[in-house]
Structure 1
Amino acid sequence: MSADIKAWYLSKTVWGGVLAIIASIANIAGFGISGAEQAELADGITALLAAAGGIVAVAGRLVAHRKLK
């Protein structure tokens, strides 16, 4: 993937939008999530996904059939 392109699920903007929708639904249901909490959740989710991506990359390399030079 190009350096200026990233996967959609690593975008804080995407997760911020998803969390805004969830916060709206939660508010209707009687639960409140502040904007700061939404931002923290988006940061946490993207960090977890980036870590998971790293784990998958390393695991993939470990089980690969071709050796590196």
Structure 2
Amino acid sequence: MTDSKPWYLSRTIWAAIVTIVTAMLGLLGVPLDGFDEAGFVDALLQAVAAVAGVVALMGRLYAQSRIG
């Protein structure tokens, strides 16, 4: 495993975050019947990737120096 990626694109990190949040919501008494954790993680990861792409594009458009 030599390739690296940002932490926010890691499926494992997002699955752990969703697991922690759903456990906390369960402790607080929020009903979670029928909640699809895997589907939610997939949707969340796609949203994060889309936002990261927009941020990268905006960063390049508003950059003050050229790419060398």
Give TM-score, length-normalised by structure 2: 0.75
* Unaligned stretches of 5+ residues in structure 2: none
The answer to whether the 8 Å contact 1:23/1:32 transfers is: no
Cα distance in 2, alignment partners of residues 34 and 12 from structure 1: 23
Matches of 1:56 and 1:7, distance apart in 2? 14
RMSD: 2.4
* Counterparts of 1:12 and 1:34, CA distance in 2: 23
Higher helix proportion: 1
Residue identity over aligned pairs, in percent, reads 33
Q: Aligned with 1:22: secondary structure?
A: helix
- Structure 1: how far apart are the matches of 2:6 and 2:26? 29
Using the alignment, how far apart are the partners of 1:43 and 1:35 within structure 2? 16
State the alpha-carbon separation in 1 of the partners of residues 58 and 17 from structure 2.
29
The Cα offsets for residues 9-61 of structure 1, whole Å up to 9 and x where unpaired, read as 11111111111111111112222436862112211111111111111111111
* Structure 2 letter corresponding to 1:43: D
Q: Identify unmatched segments of 5+ residues in structure 1.
A: none
